[in-house]
Amino acid sequence: MAKTVCLAFTGASGMPYGLRLLDCLLQQGCRVQLLYSQVAQIVARQEMALELPARPKEAQAFLRERFASAPGTLEVFGREEWFAPVASGSNPPDAMIVCPCTMGTLAAIAQGLASNLIERAADVALKEGRRLILVPRETPLSVIHLENMLRLARAGAVILPPAPGFYHHPESIDDLVDFVVARVLDQIGVTHTLMARWGAESEADSQDNR
List the chain domain ranges: 4-208
The sheet carrying 74-76 orders its strands as 74-76, 31-36, 4-9, 95-101, 131-136, 158-159
Q: What CATH architecture does domain 4-208 belong to?
A: 3-Layer(aba) Sandwich (3.40)
Say whether 68 counts as a known binding-site residue. Answer: no
Specify the higher pLDDT residue, 111 or 204. 111
Going by pLDDT thresholds of 50, 70 and 90, the confidence category of residue 200 is confident
Say whether 96 counts as a known binding-site residue. Answer: no
Say whether 49 counts as a known binding-site residue. Answer: no
- With contact defined as beta carbons under 8 Å apart, do 194 and 185 qualify? yes
> How far apart (Å, rounded) are the C-alpha atoms in residues 150 and 123?
16
Say whether 102 counts as a known binding-site residue. Answer: yes
Average pLDDT along the chain: 93
- Predicted local confidence at residue 208, as pLDDT: 52
Residues 6+ apart with CB under 8 A from 109: 98, 119, 122, 123, 126, 134, 152, 157
- With contact defined as beta carbons under 8 Å apart, do 3 and 31 qualify? yes
Say whether 12 counts as a known binding-site residue. Answer: yes
Say whether 167 counts as a known binding-site residue. Answer: yes
Say whether 137 counts as a known binding-site residue. Answer: yes
Q: The pTM is what?
A: 0.93
Going by pLDDT thresholds of 50, 70 and 90, the confidence category of residue 1 is low
Helix (H) or strand (E) holding 186: helix 173-187
Mean pLDDT across the stretch 110-128?
A: 97
